[in-house]
Structure 1
Amino acid sequence: MKKFMLLLLFCHVVSPVLHSMKYFYTASSQVPNFPEFVEVGLVDDVQMVHYDSNTQRMVPKQDWMEKVTGYLPNYWDRETQRCQSEQPVFKVNIDTLKKRFNQTGGVHIVQVMYGCEWDDETGATNGFRQYGYDGEDFIAFDLMTKTWIAPTPQAVISKNKLDRETGQNEYWKNYLTQECIDWLKKYLGYGRSTLLRTESPSVSLLQKTPSSPVTCHASGFYPNKIMLFWRRDGEELHEDVDHGEILHNHDGTFQKSVDLDVSSVKPEDWGRYSCVFQLSGVNEDIVTKLDPKVIKTNWGRTEIKRDGAPDSPSEFPTRVVVGVVVGLLALVVICIAGFIFWKKRNNGFQKANTSDGSDGSASSVEAAPLK
């Protein structure tokens, strides 16, 4: 089976006031136990809608999304019909790209990601729309020029056709910079009590063996606009530090860890190090000193909770296992929901040679009737 990589586009350094709305379409062939077509929508990385070819129904994933039906009668029926009409188009997309890449059978995946971002402090906005194929960039829309970027020769046919569709490109420029932002603000208003809440985490220091890195693990925070880092003498460390990704917890909160290599740290210098957690909307940082007495290990177990009190020693094995299981479950849920991300955002695309010598035949990749 052809391998593909799941890349979670979360970074430990994020804007404290940046909101986003994103839609992801995933069409697949010969992927066991996975729907052939999936659409999900998110606001601030919280899933709000879901559709797949097995259920054949667009459904809300948050209670506050039910408010949409009050403003837009038959909204869910219309969205369901739209998704059902898109399924065969994406199926053709896969067949088209298999021919482009001289492929036959096997696992293949076409993806579309589009949406917008809004900084509620500065008012700055950004939009993006791009396609991926088998985990790699295929083509992306350039908002500034209202043209398409083809990072691979196989996408040049699509680029040439899309660049000629000036009316459609103007529509996408307007949607991504205006209409999408308007909907994002509406959804933030609908889900204010959920999306704009703040929850502080429990922070633990973990170490597998005396020679292993010390992991600073924060779990239970919301939103995921955070910074988690190690510092020495008050200065942030960048060397000997390994940042983990932000993962979902089963209750809708998030977890993240950052490792510190202490192999070269002298015992008398441990007090110079600390782990710092910063949460958007909360002025007070959670600072955890690098102290052997508070590190949870297989030979000595304590935990620093948000109130500063040590936790029960017996909880270490359970919480570590639960954390691993939650992380694995999150990956499964992410996969099923269609979050099979590819490598770059649209501003990272590199153009391919546009003189491909093709016959100019149309591609169905761009034919998907995305809203």
Structure 2
Amino acid sequence: MFLTVFLVVLCVLATGETENSDRHSLTYIYTALSKDPKIPGIHEFTAMGILDSRVIDYFDSTTQVKTPKTHWMRERLEPEYWEKGTRSRKSKQQWFKVNLDILKERMNQTDDDIHVLQWRHGCEGVKKGNGLLEYSQGLDMYSYDGDDFLSFDDSSSVWVAPVKAAEQTKRKWDEVQVLKDYTKGYLEKECMDWLRKFLKYGENDRRTSKPPEVYVFANNARSKTNVVLNCMATGFYPPEIDIHIKRNSRILTEDDGVMSTGSRPNEDYTYQRRDSVVILRTDVAMYSCYVVHHSTGFEITKVWDGKLPNPNPDPDPPGPVIFIILAAVLALFVLGFVLLVLYKKGKFGFRPKTALFNVTDDIPLNTDKASHPGNGFSTVYDRVPLEPPKEVKEGSHSGDSGYFGVSSDSDKGSNSRSNSGVSDGSDGSVREKKSV
């Protein structure tokens, strides 16, 4: 299982897209497991905010604190924002716990396996000719164990249930007009307000061009007679960059077996890219890496020093560069695992109609992805509200929608109710969910 999930993470990373300066998105993802997997670094509950495919805030059931993941979020938002966000996400964690139990009972499931409940919502804006960012489309979707469960059709203001188990929830939520009005209003206005605000906060980071650092190194291939020659550039912005691997003076191409990761986002708004090719360990030709970053005028040819990895490595720690790469991959794995628990169904991400909402590489997955046949989205969030909110109480605003509260155990006939608390996103309203 552990190896399978790890391979899935790598697969998700390979499907990422680069940033589009005309389109921007703000997405919030909440993921919960039905029980503790007892794997170090993997959490029962994880929540995060994602701006243009970069995680900007994070919360998990172990730390129990909502924290900023960019320096500008830390500098621009007051302590009160993070305090309210922490309270909100703690209440959401309880909501997930209750509703996971309800879903398991509804679907006659046991605790023998781990079940995943996830919710993703957000908005995307497109810059028009006047330079203003205007609403393009919204996202409010739930899934369970990798299957689409419930989604909101913004254009028709109705909930869509692609599976029979969700029809009960759809009927209840469609009967609550205030919920539909709130959801539509959040996606089209409040979320867009926060998207514009966060883009402004991180504006300097995005506008500052940065040249890359370049590394050329080899690591072992599957065959002991070969090695993989890597050319890696990292820390550059904007993402457009040219990288070529040369053998003597000839530029190698895909026909020679060259593979590229494409530009992938780092956490600090810079990018990285690695191109590689398999060569014979006995090859004595001169290999070099030619990199051009036009935005900064950076150009370099770095020659490989010919240093070969030990074909029979011992347990000693790897070299610094390889260690950094492995550490980065591991970090992504830990952050992203929860969403990837959906590996059981083979669904790992979603793409809106126009390939917006680029939730890709650096997104922690216990943290996330899947394809949605309806509404043009594909899901990665698996979270399902089972009860419609009884009322909406306006509160302070702080970032991602908090319209769902902790559902009462309606499938068991309970009449109890509980509140969602202060929101940690772009809405701070409190909602109560009534029992069935």
TM-score higher than 0.5? yes
Question: Corresponding residue for 2:331?
Answer: 329
- The code of the aligned residue for 1:92 comes to V
Structure 1: distance between partners of 2:65 and 2:208? 30
Offset of residue 97 of structure 1: 2.6
Structure 2: distance between partners of 1:99 and 1:349? 25
1:44 and 1:195 in contact (8 A); partners too: no
1:157 and 1:363 in contact (8 A); partners too: no
Question: Corresponding residue for 1:40?
Answer: 48
Give runs of aligned pairs for residues 165-244 of structure 1, distance below 5 A: 165-204=176-215, 208=219, 215-222=230-237, 225-226=239-240, 242-244=259-261
Question: Corresponding residue for 1:256?
Answer: 273
1:8 and 1:245 in contact (8 A); partners too: no
Match of residue 350, structure 1, among 373, 377, 390 = 373
Question: Corresponding residue for 2:92?
Answer: 86
Question: Corresponding residue for 1:131?
Answer: 142
1:96 and 1:363 in contact (8 A); partners too: no
- The code of the aligned residue for 1:174 comes to G
Counting matched residue pairs gives 331
Q: Are positions 1:19 and 2:30 aligned together?
A: no
2:240 and 2:263 in contact (8 A); partners too: no
Q: Are positions 1:117 and 2:159 aligned together?
A: no
Q: CA-to-partner distance for each residue in 1:306-361, whole Å, 9 max, x for gaps?
A: xxxxxxxxxx953233222322233224448x787833235452259xxxxxxxxx
Q: Are positions 1:51 and 2:59 aligned together?
A: yes
Which range is displaced more, 204-213 or 151-160? Answer: 204-213
Offset of residue 168 of structure 1: 2.1
Secondary structure of 2:235's counterpart equals strand
Indicate how the Cα distance of structure 1 residues 322 and 149 shifts in structure 2: closer, same or farther if over 3 A, else same. Answer: same
1:112 and 1:129 in contact (8 A); partners too: yes
Secondary structure of 2:77's counterpart equals helix
TM (norm. structure 1) is: 0.68
- The code of the aligned residue for 1:107 comes to I
Indicate how the Cα distance of structure 1 residues 56 and 250 shifts in structure 2: closer, same or farther if over 3 A, else same. Answer: closer
- The code of the aligned residue for 1:138 comes to F
Secondary structure of 1:26's counterpart equals strand
Q: Which runs of 5+ in 1 are unaligned?
A: 301-315, 353-361
2:59 and 2:67 in contact (8 A); partners too: yes
What is the RMSD of the two structures over their aligned residues, measured on CA atoms? 4.5
2:55 and 2:267 in contact (8 A); partners too: no
1:247 and 1:330 in contact (8 A); partners too: no
Indicate how the Cα distance of structure 1 residues 78 and 229 shifts in structure 2: closer, same or farther if over 3 A, else same. Answer: same
Question: Corresponding residue for 1:307?
Answer: none
1:217 and 1:255 in contact (8 A); partners too: yes
Which range is displaced more, 178-187 or 324-333? Answer: 324-333
1:217 and 1:256 in contact (8 A); partners too: yes
Structure 2: distance between partners of 1:227 and 1:9? 18
Match of residue 77, structure 2, among 68, 79, 90 = 68
Structure 2: distance between partners of 1:245 and 1:95? 41
Structure 2: distance between partners of 1:181 and 1:250? 22
Which range is displaced more, 323-332 or 6-15? Answer: 6-15
Structure 1: distance between partners of 2:154 and 2:14? 20
Offset of residue 185 of structure 1: 1.4
Question: Corresponding residue for 1:104?
Answer: 110
Structure 2: distance between partners of 1:22 and 1:187? 12
Question: Corresponding residue for 1:364?
Answer: 386
Indicate how the Cα distance of structure 1 residues 231 and 258 shifts in structure 2: closer, same or farther if over 3 A, else same. Answer: closer
Secondary structure of 1:107's counterpart equals coil
Indicate how the Cα distance of structure 1 residues 201 and 139 shifts in structure 2: closer, same or farther if over 3 A, else same. Answer: farther
Which range is displaced more, 210-219 or 196-205? Answer: 210-219
Offset of residue 104 of structure 1: 0.8
TM (norm. structure 2) is: 0.59
Structure 1: distance between partners of 2:388 and 2:274? 39
- The code of the aligned residue for 2:188 comes to T
Offset of residue 15 of structure 1: 1.7
2:54 and 2:267 in contact (8 A); partners too: no
Question: Corresponding residue for 1:312?
Answer: none
1:198 and 1:221 in contact (8 A); partners too: yes
Question: Corresponding residue for 1:318?
Answer: 320
Offset of residue 226 of structure 1: 4.5
Structure 2: distance between partners of 1:202 and 1:330? 21
Match of residue 303, structure 2, among 291, 294, 302 = 294
Secondary structure of 1:128's counterpart equals strand
Offset of residue 143 of structure 1: 2.6
Offset of residue 229 of structure 1: 7.4
Offset of residue 25 of structure 1: 1.0
Indicate how the Cα distance of structure 1 residues 276 and 160 shifts in structure 2: closer, same or farther if over 3 A, else same. Answer: farther
Structure 2: distance between partners of 1:153 and 1:245? 40
Offset of residue 41 of structure 1: 1.5
